[in-house]
Structure 1
Amino acid sequence: MLSGKFELNLHGSKRVMQALCFQGGLMDIQHQGIILNVYNFDDCVSFYKKAFDLAEMFLKVDGDFRLTCLEFGNSYLMLET
């Protein structure tokens, strides 16, 4: 089941994509990636870094919210709480 926050972001992105397509605009996709909302944040970050030898691109902490973005080939793997 998707969290409410993820559903909201997904629907918002869909509206933007529809607006660009219907207005004849071209999307300039610069990065693609995978976003995972995780419960055991520290354990998950450690696992992905070690198991796949992924380098950290950046880290953001805002109160209880934590986010780490890892290089994943030409993409990224983003882990968030």
Structure 2
Amino acid sequence: MAIALPLPERPLSMGRCSSASVCREAVLIVQEARSIAGLEVTVVNLDAPGQRVPLQVFATPTYILDGLVVSLGNPA
């Protein structure tokens, strides 16, 4: 009999700004991603005072999974 082991959480973060409409759509995409088992989802508001911008973020939205950029802009 096989035993199902829980998967470790994988961090998915999304850097966004508050002014772009594409970033507002990104928040909806991230809300859907929260329903995927094994993902720990974080939204980083790059407009927040004192917010440190990760070096790999140079456009918004940027999706980062396990520390690697997986999408610049919203995935299709």
What's the TM-score, normalizing by structure 2?
0.28
Of structures 1 and 2, the larger Rg is shown by 1
What's the TM-score, normalizing by structure 1?
0.27
Identify the structure with bigger relative contact order (alpha carbons < 8 Å, sequence gap 6+). Answer: 2
